[in-house]
Structure 1
Amino acid sequence: RAVMDLRVELGRRSPLLGGPPRRSRTYRLERPFLADLPALLRAFPGPTRTLDATWRAIDGRQGLVDALDRLAADAVAAARGRTELLVLSDRAFGRDRLPIPSALAAGAVHAALTEAGLRGRADIAVEAADILDVHGAAMVLASGATAVVPWLAVELAAELAGGRGAEELDAAATVANLLDAFDAGLRKTLARMGISTAASYIGGGLFETIELAAEVRERCFSSAPAWPGRVGFAELAQRQLQRRAAAASIAAETPSNKLQDPGFARFRADGEVHRYAPKIVAEIHGASGFAPPAERDADAASQPSPTVIRDLIRIRRPRGVVPIGLDEVEPARSIARRFVVSAMSVGALSPEAHQTLTIGIQRAGGAANTGEGGEDPGWYVPRPDGERHDARIKQVASARFGVTAAYLARGEQLEIKIAQGSKPGEGGQLPAKKATAWIASLRRGQPGMSYISPPPHHDIYSIEDLAQLIADLRAINPAARIGVKLVATRGVGTIAAGVAKAGATYIHLSGHAGGTGASPLSSIKHVGVPWELGLAEVHQTLLRNGLRDRVALRTDGGLRTGRDLLVAALLGAEEFAFGTAMLVAVGCDMARQCHLDTCPTGIATQREDLRAKFAGTPEQVERFALALAEGLRAELAAVGAREVGEVVGESRRYLAADRRAATLDLAPVLGASSWAADLGRRRAPESAGRSVRHGLASPLEHRLTAALGGQSGFRADGLALSTADRSFGASLTGAIERGELSGPISLGLRGAAGQSFGAFAGRAVELRLVGQANDYVAKGLSGGVVVVAPEPDLAAEARRQAIAGNTCLYGATGGRLHVIGRAGMRFAVRNSGASAVVEGLGPHGCEYMTGGAVVVLGPVGANFGAGMTGGRAFLYDPDGRHLAALDTRSVQATRLAAVAVERDDGAARVEELVALLEAHRGAGSTRAADLLRDLATA
């Protein structure tokens, strides 16, 4: 909220780039959503005109395009006639007239006015019945409307007043709640797109179209990225006519609560098809052994009608190829090595479910992913039989929950989560009711508080930043495969090429179907695109740019059959990830209560009573994984392939569009060129990128690590550091965690440090730098001590000098940082356990902080403490200026003198502050020395 503005202005505007002066006359709205159109028309200072956005049903399929022609022409004529506000209204719809879909109407008029050079003269408001949710509202705004009147939604909200759940509310209150919900949803949409103002979003076309024909795209959505198809105006009109016919069959006296549930949000036998209908759930239960099936078949789930893009793809054998016997195909356990249980955190899942998935898939030969909630360090101790029960893949998400040096050093794979399939552009969120004391301890926060991941990684704002984080992770764990998780979207191929160049060894591409049910409904239903589209684009882009051999490709998003896996392999995937299917295998019954902490099967809950009902076992996971592998073996045998590696990326040879794919142009998806057959890494995804030489993050640290060998303890001073030394401290920490070195290690350094100085520094590491450091100082600090002090000739002016860059102490879990000078913005973002003293910082300090202590002895920037739910911040504020910088919705400021007297822990807080000031003085701060002297004489 601090950086967002939903205000919009309606009316005539002056030319943006100069030209003849024009009288500007606008009317400001605090939000683009309105409930009372007549009030707006009365208040608007200029001429207005309402245009009819309906069409005659008797005109048939041609009626829609004729109505758009009329609407656009009337809008242009009105704008030329000095009308300054155009209202596109479908109020006239009824039995004989159908509404023009509001996004089409807004897009067509916006485009027509823009083409005529009149968009600045007249604004657009849309009064429509089909705007019933956040997605519909956002689409109309992105298509070109400046204001929206969702009149039917307003009427329905008013009808709820006084009813069940709204007994104390009148109609005005329920309508106000509706508009507030639209506001919140629009903010989420803006945040997802990286936009701060609604005015910048309007007319931007920041959405993707699928299946629409060129005539629709070019006329109404010309600026939106498109996945081409063949649905034109005639087909859209036909769908409107079918809806009219369905509505006409309902008796007029039918109460609204008796209308048919279309099954949009939950399964209904006579509603839309769900990929996880009860029959499919039962079949997976049988395949895993969770329930005794009449006939076990992991591959039984073909739908009666196409529901996903792969249903529109036909698998064929190349000419001259014949089927082979199953005994000629690679074994199931060999195939299962390519399997991954998708990232689902302990917290989102119960500990029992998380451990069951981890142990089961890893017994089958695959790998489990921690998710973004960290792990219990007790899981690092092998079971009595020697079996590993921590996940082989350690995820690094934007909140860095539980990302410690020990966590990173144990990972066989380290995965940077850029986006999540079920809600691209949004950070994760764990509801407060799931944050038990144990879960809070893993995430290093407070029980009973919501845990929110920032939408972006604050150390990734470019591909170069991503390369730096990859270098940081490679420094602490050189043996790990390092991957980046992306989400399918138009243009993801370009991003993937950058990821490959940044040094990743695998790319995990999620489809829009991902998610365990805890994401917002609007995100689950409307955000992201199918993995088939994104995977094909990524594979083909990497091939064209000579980068395909650098990375392995992994995908997820509703995979659950051998056929699904074969299609994924043919489109370019070498590895396959499963989320929902694996949950179903251990008993999930699709109750859709993941976010409520009421999961009846004990899978997605932290309630002890419900966890006791969990009946899943690792054997069920292993059995289902091997059943999937057997399903893929059968598919391979049918097309004459002996190994998965033979078919990876061979879509042109093996795939064709099904006759049911009439509305979607699949040629770009299926048209990948073949690639060299001698690339052995196709048969071993983990070998991807081994031919690429990665430069040393820090030449100095590399020499030190090699020279120290198996020494126990080391101290040195006066070591020269340069900006070529990046991630300094991570390699030493990793070696200590792996037992290759023994601490303590104490190093005195001089010079200008490169990015990520002190990254992930562990308990046995102390780094003292005299000079300056770039961004990300003490990133992920994990128990070590890092000091950045100015050169001696600048010591007297230290409090005015910026000697550390942005995003210092990001995601720290322990240790101490002393900056004897100022730091940049986003200091201590997501700090969850470290202590720090700094002598001034920029905006957004201590954002999303959940633990630890930060002392600021100088100025602070705006938005301090936003989203902070734990920890302490001590601000030296003799002039009372810092209060204006605080995010008062998250933090409350109290004078230390009052804390000492009024709070039970007041004395402890004072002692903590004094101890940190003393340590800062010991690090060389004259500012801390002066303050301690003042305290002693006070």
Structure 2
Amino acid sequence: AVASLNEYLLAKGQRRKVSIISRSAAIRNLHDIMILLGLGADALNPYLLWEVAADFADEDHSWQQVMSNTIQVLQKGMEKVMSTMGIHELGGYGRIFSAIGLSAELVEIFQTTSFCSSKKSGLTFTQLEEMGRHRYARATGGEKQKIHREPPRNPKVGKVLRQAALGSSDYLTMGRELEQAALEMPTGIRHLLDFRNKSPKRKLRLEEVNISVGGHAMPLLIAAMSFGSQGENSFRTYAGAAKAANIICINGEGGEIPDMLGQYRTNRGQQIASGRFGVSMEFLNSADFLEIKIGQGAKPGEGGHLPGSKVTAMVAAARHCKTGTTLISPANHHDIYSIEDLAQIITELKTANPTARVSVKIPVTSGVGTIAVGIAKAGADIVNLSGFEGGTGAAREHAKRHVGLPVEIGVFHAHHALLEAGLRAEVEIWADGGIRSGADVLKMILLGANRVGLGTAALMGIGCISCRRCHLDRCPRGISTQLGTSIEAEARGVKGFRPRDITVEVENLARMLNAIGDEIRHHLAEMSQKRLQDLVGRTDLLVQNRMNNRLDV
């Protein structure tokens, strides 16, 4: 209604003469508020939200205080959303969002980009009405019930990957169980796709299949995780396992542990982000890959945040800062405001380390194809695309749920934009964001990627139980915490603390990575395809077999 009325008034030349005020019980959160403001509303009255907030008043908190706190939180949220887009005033906020899977009738009304839509699929008015009636029935039913429950996918997937890491299951068992989890609890566009030609006349043996790329054994990389966000043992484990499996491990913004500098050169990437923590000439010359992080998929438009409790003496030394200081990276680089600025930084990095290949990491957003072409023209060797499913221990819930786009969309559009510009052969495309299996990796390559990053999956390989305490420095598995001993953990009230043994976990993680590699070989062998890199962008080998009425992939 807001979008239609706004467009009608614009067409009649009357928009500036009236205000649009939306009063609705359907406005439930910050996301709803920002969408309505972007569609044209001048003011909102989410009356049910106010009623629910007022119900939290008690003897210690008056309803006036509760309402004031609620309004302040929403205002801060609005300011945060606008600041990530570089918008200073609410009047400058418009339809800067995009959608996935809207029907043609809704696309026409919202006039915003919608991916995976067609005339035969997508969310319709009829379905919106059904959803509204369902919510109303739940709200007036007398008993509190959740509209939607998130399935426990990560704990289940984590157990499967950990079993493969420990050698308790082989790659076939791991692949089957991960495929079953994807069928039961799909989270990405890739889970709607299957491989074509799985029954050729002659299947190949695994040893006949070549999945190497650029001197590395597999098209895998361990996605950027910093020392500080990760504990010392887990941080060392990722680098050691990448070397053992002969893949790449990217070090997230946060400097390097001094004795690790140069130890993993051909299997190491060093990240330069907006805070420039730990960056020096020695740091830049310690690896064959240098990555400029513009943003990450889990929180586009936001910088990093490391709580002071995680900044130990060792972390502070690596980051060149003071112990106990909360470290916040700016949302954007202070010296990159254009493609020309980016080209200058790339030139400087290649001057500092002439043998390094330079990657530019960006979140997947609308217009990603044009951005990828600009990055290639700026002289980068790699375009690294990060999808919204990417894990992080330091992002707002709103950002994790409502910001960014799936990596599948980014890879497809970047690949084709680079092809049209005649630049595809000049750069590699890397991709990450929720990837868990060999099948996931292969689907990303068929969509256009050269290599695929694993972040959360690497944590799961060394024992992560998805307890979501990364940002609290209270990880009971000793992975995303600076707690080093059981005594330290007890003092902080962390129960069941189990520090990681570097030697053991390097072997475990390398075993899991090799199992994923074998799963990729298995799929290629069944398709009678000998060389993986020949299949980059071969979308003809993918077919959509599920949810065709909702998305047109």
Q: TM-score higher than 0.5 here?
A: yes
Residue pair 1:355, 1:389 contacting (<8 A) in 2 also: no
**Matching of residue 234 in structure 1 with residue 126 in structure 2:** yes
Q: Which of 206, 230, 234 is 1:326 aligned to?
A: 206
Aligned residue identity for 2:535:
V
Measure, in 2, the Cα distance between the counterparts of 1:422 and 1:310. 18
Measure, in 2, the Cα distance between the counterparts of 1:293 and 1:322. 27
**Residue ranges of structure 2 left out of the alignment (5+ in a row):** none
| Structure 1 residue 261, shift from structure 2 partner | 4.6
Which residue in the other structure is 1:349 paired with?
230
Aligned residue identity for 2:542:
L
Aligned residue identity for 1:315:
F
Measure, in 2, the Cα distance between the counterparts of 1:389 and 1:592. 32
C-alpha distance after superposition, 1:544-593 (max 9, x if no partner): 11110010111111111111111111111111110000101111100011
Measure, in 2, the Cα distance between the counterparts of 1:390 and 1:447. 31
Which residue in the other structure is 1:308 paired with?
188
Which residue in the other structure is 2:96 paired with?
206
| Structure 1 residue 405, shift from structure 2 partner | 1.0
* Alpha-carbon spacing, 1:294–1:544, altered in 2? closer, same or farther (3 Å): closer
Aligned residue identity for 2:221:
V
| Structure 1 residue 332, shift from structure 2 partner | 8.1
Measure, in 2, the Cα distance between the counterparts of 1:567 and 1:187. 38
Aligned residue identity for 2:207:
D
Which residue in the other structure is 2:512 paired with?
624
**Matching of residue 193 in structure 1 with residue 85 in structure 2:** yes
Measure, in 2, the Cα distance between the counterparts of 1:602 and 1:422. 23
**Which structure 2 residues correspond to residues 105-124 of structure 1 after superposition, within 5 A?**
105-124=1-20
Measure, in 2, the Cα distance between the counterparts of 1:146 and 1:176. 21
| Structure 1 residue 286, shift from structure 2 partner | 0.2
Which residue in the other structure is 2:524 paired with?
636
**Matching of residue 541 in structure 1 with residue 417 in structure 2:** yes
C-alpha distance after superposition, 1:770-804 (max 9, x if no partner): xxxxxxxxxxxxxxxxxxxxxxxxxxxxxxxxxxx
Q: Which of 33, 37, 43 is 1:137 aligned to?
A: 33
Measure, in 2, the Cα distance between the counterparts of 1:293 and 1:313. 25
| Structure 1 residue 635, shift from structure 2 partner | 0.7
Measure, in 2, the Cα distance between the counterparts of 1:301 and 1:207. 32
Residue pair 1:332, 1:626 contacting (<8 A) in 2 also: no
* Alpha-carbon spacing, 1:548–1:362, altered in 2? closer, same or farther (3 Å): same
Measure, in 2, the Cα distance between the counterparts of 1:224 and 1:550. 29
Three-state SS of the structure 1 residue aligned to 2:431 is: strand
* Alpha-carbon spacing, 1:409–1:344, altered in 2? closer, same or farther (3 Å): same
Residue pair 2:199, 2:526 contacting (<8 A) in 1 also: no
Three-state SS of the structure 2 residue aligned to 1:420 is: coil
C-alpha distance after superposition, 1:19-43 (max 9, x if no partner): xxxxxxxxxxxxxxxxxxxxxxxxx
Which residue in the other structure is 2:254 paired with?
373
Measure, in 1, the Cα distance between the counterparts of 2:262 and 2:449. 33
Aligned residue identity for 2:362:
L
* Alpha-carbon spacing, 1:356–1:389, altered in 2? closer, same or farther (3 Å): farther
C-alpha distance after superposition, 1:836-881 (max 9, x if no partner): xxxxxxxxxxxxxxxxxxxxxxxxxxxxxxxxxxxxxxxxxxxxxx
**Residue ranges of structure 1 left out of the alignment (5+ in a row):** 1-104, 264-270, 383-387, 667-938
Residue pair 2:212, 2:219 contacting (<8 A) in 1 also: no
Measure, in 1, the Cα distance between the counterparts of 2:413 and 2:482. 39
Q: Which of 483, 488, 491 is 1:607 aligned to?
A: 483
Three-state SS of the structure 2 residue aligned to 1:342 is: strand
| Structure 1 residue 231, shift from structure 2 partner | 1.9
Which residue in the other structure is 1:671 paired with?
none
Three-state SS of the structure 2 residue aligned to 1:628 is: helix
* Alpha-carbon spacing, 1:573–1:517, altered in 2? closer, same or farther (3 Å): same
Three-state SS of the structure 2 residue aligned to 1:360 is: helix
**Which structure 2 residues correspond to residues 424-439 of structure 1 after superposition, within 5 A?**
424-439=300-315
* Alpha-carbon spacing, 1:226–1:640, altered in 2? closer, same or farther (3 Å): closer
Measure, in 2, the Cα distance between the counterparts of 1:306 and 1:444. 42
* Alpha-carbon spacing, 1:320–1:347, altered in 2? closer, same or farther (3 Å): closer
| Structure 1 residue 416, shift from structure 2 partner | 0.5
Three-state SS of the structure 2 residue aligned to 1:301 is: helix
Aligned residue identity for 2:414:
V
| Structure 1 residue 603, shift from structure 2 partner | 1.1
Higher strand share: 1
Given the two structures, how large is their TM-score scaled by the length of structure 2? Answer: 0.91
| Structure 1 residue 421, shift from structure 2 partner | 1.1
Measure, in 1, the Cα distance between the counterparts of 2:170 and 2:450. 33
* Alpha-carbon spacing, 1:321–1:553, altered in 2? closer, same or farther (3 Å): farther
Aligned length: 533
Given the two structures, how large is their TM-score scaled by the length of structure 1? Answer: 0.54
Which 10-residue stretch deviates more, 318-327 or 640-649? 318-327
Measure, in 2, the Cα distance between the counterparts of 1:585 and 1:351. 16
Residue pair 2:274, 2:332 contacting (<8 A) in 1 also: yes
**Matching of residue 462 in structure 1 with residue 347 in structure 2:** no
Measure, in 2, the Cα distance between the counterparts of 1:545 and 1:331. 27
C-alpha distance after superposition, 1:149-201 (max 9, x if no partner): 22222222222223xxxx63211111111111111111111111121111111
Three-state SS of the structure 1 residue aligned to 2:226 is: coil
Residue pair 2:171, 2:518 contacting (<8 A) in 1 also: no
Three-state SS of the structure 2 residue aligned to 1:240 is: helix
* Alpha-carbon spacing, 1:557–1:544, altered in 2? closer, same or farther (3 Å): same
Three-state SS of the structure 2 residue aligned to 1:314 is: strand
* Alpha-carbon spacing, 1:350–1:390, altered in 2? closer, same or farther (3 Å): farther
| Structure 1 residue 397, shift from structure 2 partner | 0.4
**Which structure 2 residues correspond to residues 462-501 of structure 1 after superposition, within 5 A?**
462-501=338-377
Aligned residue identity for 1:222:
Q
| Structure 1 residue 433, shift from structure 2 partner | 2.2
| Structure 1 residue 442, shift from structure 2 partner | 2.2
**Matching of residue 415 in structure 1 with residue 283 in structure 2:** no
* Percent of paired sites with the same residue: 36
**Which structure 2 residues correspond to residues 243-258 of structure 1 after superposition, within 5 A?**
243-247=135-139, 250=141, 252=142, 254=143
C-alpha distance after superposition, 1:450-500 (max 9, x if no partner): 211111111111111111000000001010011111121221000100111
| Structure 1 residue 141, shift from structure 2 partner | 1.0
Q: Which has the larger radius of gyration?
A: 1
**Matching of residue 168 in structure 1 with residue 57 in structure 2:** no
| Structure 1 residue 240, shift from structure 2 partner | 2.3
Residue pair 1:509, 1:556 contacting (<8 A) in 2 also: yes
Measure, in 2, the Cα distance between the counterparts of 1:331 and 1:231. 39
Which residue in the other structure is 2:111 paired with?
222
| Structure 1 residue 289, shift from structure 2 partner | 0.7
| Structure 1 residue 431, shift from structure 2 partner | 1.7
Residue pair 1:379, 1:390 contacting (<8 A) in 2 also: no
**Which structure 2 residues correspond to residues 516-595 of structure 1 after superposition, within 5 A?**
516-595=392-471
Higher relative contact order (CA 8 A, sep 6+): 2
Measure, in 1, the Cα distance between the counterparts of 2:262 and 2:514. 27
* Alpha-carbon spacing, 1:659–1:587, altered in 2? closer, same or farther (3 Å): closer
Measure, in 2, the Cα distance between the counterparts of 1:261 and 1:602. 33
**Matching of residue 360 in structure 1 with residue 212 in structure 2:** no
Three-state SS of the structure 1 residue aligned to 2:290 is: strand
Q: Which of 515, 533, 536 is 2:391 aligned to?
A: 515
Measure, in 1, the Cα distance between the counterparts of 2:542 and 2:56. 51
Which 10-residue stretch deviates more, 133-142 or 609-618? 609-618
* Alpha-carbon spacing, 1:288–1:651, altered in 2? closer, same or farther (3 Å): same
**Matching of residue 338 in structure 1 with residue 214 in structure 2:** no
Residue pair 1:335, 1:644 contacting (<8 A) in 2 also: no
Measure, in 1, the Cα distance between the counterparts of 2:52 and 2:260. 52
* Alpha-carbon spacing, 1:391–1:521, altered in 2? closer, same or farther (3 Å): farther
